[in-house]
Structure 1
Amino acid sequence: MKSSKSRLGRNVHRLFFAALTISLSISALYAQPASTATQSPEDHVSLYQALLDLQNPWTVMCVAAHPDDEDGTSLIVMRRKYGAHTVSLFSTFGEGGQNAIGPELYEELGAIRARETMAAAEIQGSEPHFLGLKDFGYSKTRDEAFKFWGHEEGLRRMVLEIRRLRPDVIITNHSVTNNDHGQHQATALMVVEAFDAAADPNKFPEQLKDGVTTWQVQRLFVRVRGNQAASDSTSIVTIDPNEKDPVRGVGYAEEALCALQQHATQGPWPKTFAEYANRFRAFSGQPGGATGQLPMIRYALVREAKGSAPLSAKESHSFLDGLRLPDAEAALVVAPQIGGKPLTDYVDKPATVLAELSVSSVETSRQHGTAIANQPRALAMRNRMFRAMGAASGIIVSISPKGVLVPGTVTDITITVSNNGTLTTQVGRLDLEGKPIAAETGFQSLSAGEKRTFIAHYNTPVNAQLSVPHAEHLYDGGEFGSRLKAVAVFSIVHDSHQFVVPSETNVDIARPIELASVSTSPIVTTPANDGKCGFHPVDFKLRVSNNQNDAISGALRLFLTTGPIMGRGSSTRKVELRAREKTDELFTLDGCQLSKSQGGVTFILENQTKTWPALLVPIVVTNAKVAPDLRVAYIRGFDFSLPNALNALGVESKEVSVDEIRTSDLSKFTSVIVDNRVYESKPELIAANQKLLDYAQAGGNLIVFYHKSDEWNPDPRRNRPQLAPYKLLLSNERVTDENAPITFIEPDHPLLNVPNKMGQDDFKDWIQERGLYYPREWDPQFHALVQSNDPGEAPLKGGLLVADYGRGHYIYTSMVWYRELRGGVPGAYRMLANMISYGRK
């Protein structure tokens, strides 16, 4: 995410000096009677943080490969305890991971995770930024990561963000000595290289323009993991996660857990801090303190800039200990005080604080105005001063657009000014994107508890970067939309004591008319015995959104091709939409026509004067046959790839709940499928698992898709027994190469031959990986049917296991069928057809 805060800072700075009356009657504000109203707890915390931020001019950056890899606890401690400016920098959006709450994957998942990261950062008090490198899934080496990213390109992006954000200290969880995720390894190496490269004018000199300069980070810290010992000569910073935030009344690690829980697609996360502490100790191998507490967080100092001040102690508790600014720069960022005491001591006296901030702001501007405008650190501290003034006054400025913005279109933007403080203020100039919307024709009074609304008619630039759909703009700089900025000038008592309150919000930019798929894409059809041309029809839902301020009408046409459009199309319907309205249109697509389509279907909306951008949806025709008279029950996981695939196969299927598993007669189903990670997402199924095993033993076909080792293997601490009918233990091993060779260990086994004979072609064009969390140990009753391996590694044989159990069957598979089914890989449909047909005649 490219930051626009520096531009906002310059605009605020200019507006402040344009509006500021230098000769202020300071005594009037001190003399104004204070209201008897008391601060709300939220306002108290907000003001305290704003005042604490004025005491620390340093910036700490945490670099991580993916969202949730950041050290949220240390970021929180540095901001909430010490007042440092904190930022996080992520190599990727995490789009290659698994989704624990929904069907979105790849770019759609990345767009969700970007917003989850923003929500987590809000709790951490940090700013998130992204390099936008592609998360292509789990990798085992940094060389594989650089094959996708480009080593030089990844370094270029990281250097640019360091130069823009200007961190004094960088911390990272990733180490060049660790043999973990390849993207972690690559990120760790880039951090070390960028430490020097960002300060070298010969590295990426094309970046050195538009205010971007070289930048020398002072210190680089790498986290010391587990019980790893640092050398005697290494300086260590120790962060106590169990320390209590005295203002918010909770532990810093408890705040970090709240932030971690925002990463919902990567859950499920512990619900309580005690559970979090126990799980962390088990995962890290570090002994904690008292029960329910986390072990210390330790960082080793691995790089220092030449001439940088040393840490003040070998065992320190702040990454910033000992850092000093040059005298000339330090003079520009002196924190205001009252009687030699920090303003945080007066947090319960906001009127007194506001008076001192006003005095300090004027005096600093008189003495150093030009220098501040040209010094990024001083300008950043000036903006913190403005935020502190807003917090002390209780003034809040909020921006609310009327829907998404459309390039070249005027949209009403509501700006609300609320006085939540105790003093009567006066609203002066109000700007949106540098243009006045409320002129300074005499200040308008705003009493305590009052709010006032202004409407700006904002004309979105014709060349504005689109952000909708979010997934389509993940890598082009439009992932968060446009940043709208408002700046308001206020005064208290007879046009004196003017101060500035800025506000920002992200808004989406969309096309005037948007066609989007609601149903799964690609469309998949399979053979059917319907007496016609032999392929199943498919229901497809399309959403038409009118983002304009005017109504539209047109013809929505369907063409069974993704090539050149000719004729009127195979289906046409009229669409009429009011301003800012959307509708869903359902098409039933004939299976015969689908099987003959030229690669997909094209939807076009047009009228007599205009044709809007088309939506192209690919079609996959797969020769996947199923046994007759199947009836499949499934306990759905996080997404809909399984039910969508069963529908595409034309199979009668039913989603069942855990309660239905407990109480229903399962014998009416020919197969029951436990979808990905259901024993984790629906832990109550563990207690009902015996009912599933009884179903298989009595003649049913029980199929279980992949689970993680720590949510499957027997664990008495979590009351989890053996879940399979025979011994079956999972590892953390993966086959990450989606093109890894497949060997049939038992090529004649019925599961590989009926009703579809599986071959090498069925494993072509796979997506991202072969499988994950492969079994490491299983009972001889299981037949291992296939094996695969990444280059240079031993084969993993547990990807598809099948066993007879009583009169029925049990199948466990750790291969990533859900990715392949969602992507329309024909072989995945053929294998699913075999699994649900297993044992049927």
Structure 2
Amino acid sequence: MNRIKIAASILLASFSQLTFAQTAPPADLVTIEQNFKKLDVLGSVLYVAAHPDDENTRLLAYLAQEKHYRTGYLSLTRGDGGQNLLGSEQGELLGLIRTQELLAARKVDGAEQFFTRANDFGFSKGPDETLKIWDREKVLGDVVWVIRKFRPDVIICRFPTTGEGGHGHHTSSAILAQEAFAAAADPKRFPEQLQYVKTWQAKRLLWNTFNFGTTNTIRPGQFKVDVGVYNPIIGKGYGELAAESRSNHKTQGFGSARQRGEAPEFFKTILGDAPQNDLLDGVDATWSRIKGGEAIAAEISTIRKNFDVDHPEKSVPALVKLLDQVEKVQNAYWRAQKVKELDNLIAACAGLWFESYTVESTYALGDSIAVYSQVLDRYSDKVKLNSISINGIAKSYNSAIAANQLQSYSINTFAAKITQPYWLQTPHTQGTYNIPDQLSVGNPETQGLLTADFEFTIEGKLIHFERRLVYKFVDPVRGEVYQLLTIAPPVTANVESKDYIFNSTIPQTIQIKLKSFTKASGSISLKPMAGWKVVPEKFDFSNKNKGDEWTVAFTVTPADNQPKTTTLEAVVNVNGQSFSLGILNIKYDHVPNITLFLPAQAKLIDVDLKIAGKKIGYIQGAGDLVPDALKQVGYDVHQLSENEILNGDLSGYDAIITGVRAWNVNERLAVEQPKLMEYVKNGGNLLVQYNNNAGIVTKQIGPYPLRVVNQRVTDEDAKVTILDQQSPVLNYPNKISQDDFNGWIQERGLYFVSDIDPQYKTVLQMNDPGEAPNNGSLVVGNYGEGRFIYTSLAFFRQLPAGVPGAYRLFINLLSKPKNQPLN
């Protein structure tokens, strides 16, 4: 059955797994009642922490949906440096997924989402390292910007400045929040922001104390709030909403059980005066806080009292008159917030539904886009559609909308800008993304792309609404599906591999897959690279149609015998323009499809590399790119199934590797472990990559005892001491020296082992500054005729990054010498 792309109406009361790009706010009676209550509250709270999943979703839900404050979560990072339990995405790719997970969580708990430019560069043991790598002043400026824009009455930190949060990022988030509390009110700090925003002084800064594991920061006498109350309108308590919200953090494995009943949250005052009865003590969160607000509050009370649940449209005339009053409010901040809330409330009560969509998911830059819009006024004929405007192209209608009759419209616009996440549009450092546009700072996604502006006349008043353009289709299994619309370069170029390892002057073939998103003619070439020869100079192409894909192959050869590393970049010249972008699609069921245009680049790495053995068995863990890296240097890598492990002949594998965290996420390894030990005993070579110390599926991973612990070396440049110069893993087939530990990224290793049985030998020793030497990063043990290796070294980061020494050492771990001692 062909996928049918049709128009159909949809009304969402909650976030749907299948329909991500919600085109209209919910308009059910529960939402209307909650929005009436929110309309009557003029208070705001900003929650600050370091990562996705740091936020207290129960407290956020309580603040947003019980107290009806404008509630925000500022996550300093997008979680780029974490691990991914669902797939192999790392770094900024993982950050893209976790951004969408946070947005899904906010749709459940009702808070808003913000970020700074800080990059989650991996675990940090202290704030000094974190703030240095992040560029303290830039990230502080972003926190100040969000505070000045959001204007919170109260700021709440998840972590303290004193280190009990454990992670250096956690502590840094509290330090920066504390500094920003004062800096946001100081016109001398970050004055360049003041052309867009005003200074702002929050009433108080609180720390939301906690009891996590063995760390209890709750003390008698701390101010507390019971956030476990039940909301009869929603039909849930906030512990239930919190679990639904937190369970969106699926890449982190944070599915949560619903909590019901009393749930006190505790707070310590850091700055400002301490609350006595309420978090917003001393803040007038009613309309009385602004001039003329009492009359507005009285009108809201009257409208609510007269509201007819069977006929919400009867409240529209009064709401429109109220909108006139609110638009005259002098306080610009609360005027803007309440006008937006009123606009949506009027549309909901009027039964006014509208959206704009396309029938194709992707368009090329500069191409025409046919946009289809639909409008439905369910309750009356007193609504008139004046115009629809897209990217500055407006079409006037000036027509009344017949009651409950779906109206369809069309307008052609053009693809003006590639849909690239704003923080990934230019190269960035280890610690911070580059964000040249001040107005983009803090936003979860790129703003201003592909939106439709609808102008209606409702009860004689002009009201504007904005809707995001989406791609809509009907899937035979999932039904109606909305996805994000993508604007692509005319032609993309995907280099087959991220890294190409050269260990001789033998040429390699570089394959590049091209895809056209429009009618295109042009050529593709590689930028000149000193010391490298490229044949041919270019490939021409002509009359390619939208959707065409083809592959070209360049031959690249080192031009001399000098070791070198360089960046290969493909350049597509098409229709008079040059582009150097490939395309990457990330698809998971729990988030919208994500499309990213990565630089069309690869690393060429000339390294002295010897390889022994050929056939590798791989047992998948939480997801990594190690198999691809091994294939790139010539290994035959086979993903082992459970049946092959339990019933097959494993003797043909030169080595078997378990992927990162395999012993955490693969419960069947507890059953398969004896067969793997038998493989080792009979002469095999088993390499186990790092596992989290929590939740290992078997009591003993290897042939002899060892214990995985939460110890790591986060300094990627930390000195490495070789403990056993004669160890075969440092000598066969490559001679490993101190130089092989240069150029590592993010960290040396994580989740080292301790309580190591004497039958293992430790090979390396390392430590972070100020800490005791640790020899738990690499242990080797003979067992029968074979060899067992456990390594906590972060090869899963180093190999995809093309670190030469990491390749040399990892290959040694796979290469069991013959006719000589194994360790």
Structure 1 and Structure 2 fold alike (TM over 0.5): yes
Separation in 1, partners of 2:402, 2:761:
77
SS at match of 2:522: strand
Aligned to 2:192: 206
Matched, 1:101 2:93: no
Deviation (angstroms), 1:508: 7.3
Query: 1:332-368: per-residue Cα shift (whole Å, max 9, x none)?
Result: 3844667758469755542233343234334x25xxx
Provide the TM-score with structure 1 as the length reference.
Answer: 0.80
Matched, 1:692 2:676: yes
Which of 487, 500, 517 is the matching residue for 1:523? 500
Superposed, which structure 2 residues align to 1:485-524 within 5 Å?
485-491=451-457, 496=460, 500-504=464-468, 512-517=489-494, 519-524=496-501
Residue type matched to 2:513 in 1? L
Matched, 1:81 2:66: yes
Deviation (angstroms), 1:187: 1.4
Separation in 2, partners of 1:834, 1:471:
37
Deviation (angstroms), 1:610: 5.0
Aligned to 1:395: 352
Separation in 1, partners of 2:427, 2:96:
9
Deviation (angstroms), 1:676: 0.2
Which of 794, 797, 806 is the matching residue for 1:828? 806
Deviation (angstroms), 1:75: 1.2
Separation in 2, partners of 1:566, 1:839:
36
1:745–1:784 contact (8 Å) kept in structure 2: yes
Separation in 2, partners of 1:345, 1:198:
41
Which of 396, 403, 410 is the matching residue for 1:447? 403
Matched, 1:237 2:225: yes
Aligned to 1:150: 135
Deviation (angstroms), 1:568: 7.6
- Residues 219 and 611 (structure 1 numbering): CA distance in 2 closer, same or farther, change over 3 Å? closer
Aligned to 1:329: 290
Superposed, which structure 2 residues align to 1:714-725 within 5 Å?
720-725=698-703
SS at match of 2:799: helix
Which of 139, 158, 172 is the matching residue for 1:186? 172
Deviation (angstroms), 1:741: 0.6
SS at match of 1:792: coil
Residue type matched to 1:385 in 2? L
- Residues 522 and 339 (structure 1 numbering): CA distance in 2 closer, same or farther, change over 3 Å? closer
SS at match of 2:369: strand
**Quick check: which one's strand share is greater?**
2
The share of aligned pairs that are identical, in percent, is: 27
Residue type matched to 1:457 in 2? T
Deviation (angstroms), 1:812: 0.5
Separation in 2, partners of 1:588, 1:639:
31
Judge which range, 395-404 or 721-730, deviates more.
Answer: 395-404
Aligned to 2:265: 297
Superposed, which structure 2 residues align to 1:726-741 within 5 Å?
726-741=704-719
1:555–1:606 contact (8 Å) kept in structure 2: yes
Judge which range, 395-404 or 797-806, deviates more.
Answer: 395-404
Aligned to 2:434: 475
Judge which range, 503-512 or 199-208, deviates more.
Answer: 503-512
Separation in 2, partners of 1:244, 1:470:
44
Query: 1:554-574: per-residue Cα shift (whole Å, max 9, x none)?
Result: 222346x43599998356353
- Residues 440 and 231 (structure 1 numbering): CA distance in 2 closer, same or farther, change over 3 Å? same
Residue type matched to 2:774 in 1? L
2:386–2:457 contact (8 Å) kept in structure 1: no
SS at match of 2:772: coil
- Residues 771 and 833 (structure 1 numbering): CA distance in 2 closer, same or farther, change over 3 Å? same
Superposed, which structure 2 residues align to 1:330-729 within 5 Å?
331-332=292-293, 334-335=296-297, 342=304, 346-347=308-309, 349-362=311-324, 364=325, 369-372=327-330, 375-400=332-357, 409=366, 411-412=368-369, 414=371, 416-419=373-376, 421-424=378-381, 426-432=383-389, 437-439=394-396, 441=398, 443-448=399-404, 450-458=406-414, 460=416, 467=422, 475-476=434-435, 480-483=445-448, 484-491=450-457, 496=460, 500-504=464-468, 512-517=489-494, 519-526=496-503, 537=508, 540-546=511-517, 551-558=519-526, 561-563=528-530, 569-570=536-537, 572=539, 574=541, 576-579=543-546, 581=547, 583=549, 585=551, 587=553, 589=555, 599-606=566-573, 609=576, 611-613=578-580, 615-628=600-613, 630-712=614-696, 720-729=698-707
How many matched pairs? 746
Deviation (angstroms), 1:185: 1.2
1:558–1:604 contact (8 Å) kept in structure 2: yes
Separation in 2, partners of 1:62, 1:694:
53
SS at match of 1:624: coil
Which of 774, 786, 793 is the matching residue for 2:771? 793
Query: 1:397-421: per-residue Cα shift (whole Å, max 9, x none)?
Result: 32335656777x3643625334274
Separation in 2, partners of 1:721, 1:244:
42
Aligned to 1:63: 48
Query: 1:508-527: per-residue Cα shift (whole Å, max 9, x none)?
Result: 78664354435331322446
Deviation (angstroms), 1:377: 1.0
Query: 1:272-307: per-residue Cα shift (whole Å, max 9, x none)?
Result: 516xx7xxxxxxxxxxxxxx88964322233226xx
Judge which range, 465-474 or 190-199, deviates more.
Answer: 465-474
Matched, 1:49 2:20: no
Deviation (angstroms), 1:806: 2.4
Deviation (angstroms), 1:389: 1.0
- What CA RMSD, in Å, does the superposition of the two structures yield over aligned residues? 3.6
Separation in 2, partners of 1:250, 1:501:
31
Deviation (angstroms), 1:815: 0.5
SS at match of 2:498: coil
Matched, 1:122 2:117: no
1:562–1:602 contact (8 Å) kept in structure 2: no
- Residues 644 and 162 (structure 1 numbering): CA distance in 2 closer, same or farther, change over 3 Å? same
Residue type matched to 1:350 in 2? P
SS at match of 1:683: coil
Judge which range, 597-606 or 733-742, deviates more.
Answer: 597-606
Deviation (angstroms), 1:631: 1.8
Query: 1:666-707: per-residue Cα shift (whole Å, max 9, x none)?
Result: 222221111101122322323322222222223221111001
Separation in 2, partners of 1:303, 1:523:
54
Which of 246, 256, 259 is the matching residue for 2:232? 246
Separation in 2, partners of 1:137, 1:515:
31
Aligned to 2:594: none
Separation in 1, partners of 2:653, 2:27:
55
Separation in 1, partners of 2:150, 2:306:
27
2:532–2:556 contact (8 Å) kept in structure 1: no
Provide the TM-score with structure 2 as the length reference.
Answer: 0.82
- Residues 771 and 654 (structure 1 numbering): CA distance in 2 closer, same or farther, change over 3 Å? same
Deviation (angstroms), 1:620: 1.0
Judge which range, 807-816 or 693-702, deviates more.
Answer: 693-702
Separation in 2, partners of 1:353, 1:421:
14
Deviation (angstroms), 1:217: 0.8
Aligned to 2:588: none
- Residues 759 and 557 (structure 1 numbering): CA distance in 2 closer, same or farther, change over 3 Å? same
Residue type matched to 1:358 in 2? V
Separation in 1, partners of 2:667, 2:495:
30
- Residues 672 and 141 (structure 1 numbering): CA distance in 2 closer, same or farther, change over 3 Å? same
Separation in 1, partners of 2:305, 2:269:
32
Deviation (angstroms), 1:426: 3.1
Aligned to 2:589: none
Separation in 2, partners of 1:136, 1:469:
15
Judge which range, 125-134 or 759-768, deviates more.
Answer: 125-134
Deviation (angstroms), 1:589: 4.6
Residue type matched to 2:209 in 1? V
2:454–2:464 contact (8 Å) kept in structure 1: yes
